[in-house]
Amino acid sequence: MHTVKHWFSHSLAAQALVLFLLGLGFGALFRRDDHPALWAVQSLLYTAVAIGALAYQRRRTSRATGARPGTVVDLNRRIRHREVPQDPEERVVMRRLVEDQLGKMERGSRWLPYWLGFMGLIAVGMLVLGVVTGSPAFPVVFCVGVIVFCCWIVWMRKRAIEVHRHMRSALRERG
């Protein structure tokens, strides 16, 4: 299992394959009336956009840290496990990576309430539409799902910021 996780986290081709298959499956599940070629074309388009965005993000992070994308992936794993590298060069790269990611999270914090409010507004709108049309079962489930998703986002963000702040202080102590 470790080699599959390693291959998936390092390879854009593996991620593209999984995204394409998921898109194809969702197309087959939700668009049964459409031709299967349309499922494949839509899945290919969605995969190309997602992989393009991911490649851009990886390239930007690599430039900011001065490391290869594979090294950045390994350092991100070590950050999640709170492992401080012994090698001074690796520590410098990790310090740049931690600062870059922490800066992104702190800059994004000003927009978080607006995004969460927008998601809540959509959930309330769906709930109102469900009550007005007389079928509130799906909107209630949707509203609960949005609330759980928003709580999960806040919790994961808080946890990630704590880990990155811990790593920043650990890298300063040893550096």
Global pTM reads 0.78
Domain that holds residue 161: 71-175
130 and 163 assigned to the same domain: yes
Q: Which of 65, 84, 115 is the last residue of a domain?
A: 65
d(CA 91, CA 118) in angstroms, rounded, equals 39
Q: Are residues 61 and 9 in the same domain?
A: yes
| pLDDT at residue 30 in the model | 86
Quote the CA–CA distance of 168 and 118 in Å, as a whole number: 32
Query: Could you list the mean pLDDT of each consecutive 10-residue stretch along the chain, which spans 175 residues?
Result: 77 91 90 89 95 92 88 90 90 93 92 94 92 88 93 96 95 79
Q: Which residues of 43-80 are buried (b: 16+ CB within 10 A; e: fewer)?
A: beebbeeebeeeeeebeebbebbebebebbbbbbebbe
Query: Do 49 and 76 fall into the same domain?
Result: no
- Same domain? For 47 and 81 the reply is no
DSSP symbols for 10-66: H-HHHHHHHHHHHHHHHHHHH-TTS-HHHHHHHHHHHHHHHHHHHHHHHHHHHHHHT
Amino acid code (one letter) for 168: R
- Asked if 82 and 142 sit in the same domain, the reply is yes
| Final residue in a domain of this structure, among 23, 38, 65 | 65
